[in-house]
Amino acid sequence: MESAKTGTGPLLSIGALSRAAGIPVQTLRTWESRYGFPDAVRRPSGHRVYPVAVVARLRRVAEAIARGHRAGQVVAASDDELAELLQVAPRRSPDASPDDGVDGLLRAVIAFDSDALQRLLLPDWARLGPVAFLTRRIGPLVVAVGAAWEEGRLDVGHEHFLTERVGDLLRSLRLPFEDRAAGPVIVLATLPGETHGLGLAAAGLQVLSLGTEVPTPQIAQVCKDVRARALALSVSSSTGGAATVAKLRRLRQSLPRRVTMIVGGTGASEVGPGVEVIQDLHALDGRARAILAAP
């Protein structure tokens, strides 16, 4: 264990503290930034180190979070409050279903267990169908991982793991739909700066996914080259805003009039004439079917 002796007693680097407490470094940094604990000591060299005495408390905090309490509730709690929380199980939200399937999926993400994640998701895909699978499993899982990251229970590596594994799974599940698709072409993409994008098979349309962070001139050119009937763009809450609306308006102006431009996602907002804003996957599925049925 890396440590240094000073007049205040043993001090640990953040890496040593992480190993001693069993908590990822990024999680410790998040807790310190948001809740003021663990509080670093600056050495004369300027390096940030931590008293070894905080290890025991960090382990108790991690135990309380593992029992279901929120990081915001326990990290800044007093010792007495923390002791009380460790004796009381958290209440389940009245809206939560005991069989919502998200808890097991979240455990697989925490463990970076690709096999378990796939074993849990594939039966749901077969049972629920594409739209319900995305709205009742993938959507809640993404929200749960985001909330756990906000609370400091997960780090950015878990979010990247989820994005990659779910993206791979959805691409493989989409292939049979693409093989049978004979309708018009719909192009999927996100604008530069938007890293959140998941592929979706759309009601018999031929899906051409350009991936994430695609320059707008390239999006427009591809739509022209493949004579796309529609363009669907995802905007998350982290990128939505006036700057994105301006980009979308310029993109609309550069597209042929025949191309239906659709914007969706948690950051989607009204853009203007010629741009349809769709707030959920059920509406997107319905719009895709309408495009397929159009002459």
- Does the pLDDT of residue 142 top 70, yes or no? yes
**Cα end-to-end span (Å), the chain:** 70
- Does domain 3-87 match CATH 1.20.1050.140? no
Phi, psi of 10 (to 5 degrees): -60, 140
Burial 189-206 (b: 16+ CB within 10 A, else e): bbbeebebbbebbbbbbb
Q: Give the residues across from 219 on adjacent strands.
A: none
- Give, as one character, the DSSP assignment of residue 24: -
- Give, as one character, the DSSP assignment of residue 287: H
Name the residue ranges covered by the structural domains of the chain: 3-87, 102-173, 182-293
pTM over 0.75: no
102-173 is classed in which CATH architecture?
Orthogonal Bundle (1.10)
Alpha helices in 152-280 (DSSP H): 156-180, 216-225, 242-254
The per-residue pLDDT for 2 is: 40
- Does the pLDDT of residue 6 top 60, yes or no? no
Mean pLDDT of 129-148: 81
State the pLDDT confidence band at 99, using cuts at 50, 70 and 90: very low
The per-residue pLDDT for 130 is: 78
- Give, as one character, the DSSP assignment of residue 90: P
Tens-place pLDDT, residues 173-211: 776 666 666 678 888 888 888 776 655 555 567 778 888
Burial 28-60 (b: 16+ CB within 10 A, else e): bbbbbeebeebebeeeeeeeebbbbebbebbeb
The per-residue pLDDT for 88 is: 67
SS3 243: helix
The per-residue pLDDT for 145 is: 84
The per-residue pLDDT for 98 is: 38
The per-residue pLDDT for 68 is: 67
The per-residue pLDDT for 218 is: 94
Among 120-124, 263-267, 287-291, name the one with the lowest average pLDDT: 287-291
Tens-place pLDDT, residues 37-56: 998 888 888 788 998 888 88
182-293 is classed in which CATH architecture?
3-Layer(aba) Sandwich (3.40)
Alpha helices in the chain (DSSP H): 14-21, 25-35, 54-66, 71-74, 79-87, 102-110, 114-128, 130-133, 139-151, 156-180, 216-225, 242-254, 281-293
State the pLDDT confidence band at 161, using cuts at 50, 70 and 90: confident
Tens-place pLDDT, residues 11-35: 888 888 888 887 878 788 888 888 8
The per-residue pLDDT for 70 is: 75
The more confidently predicted of residues 70 and 259 is 259
**183 CB contacts (<8 Å, ≥6 apart)?**
203, 204, 205, 206, 291, 292
The per-residue pLDDT for 139 is: 79
Tens-place pLDDT, residues 212-226: 889 999 999 999 999
Mean pLDDT of 164-174: 80
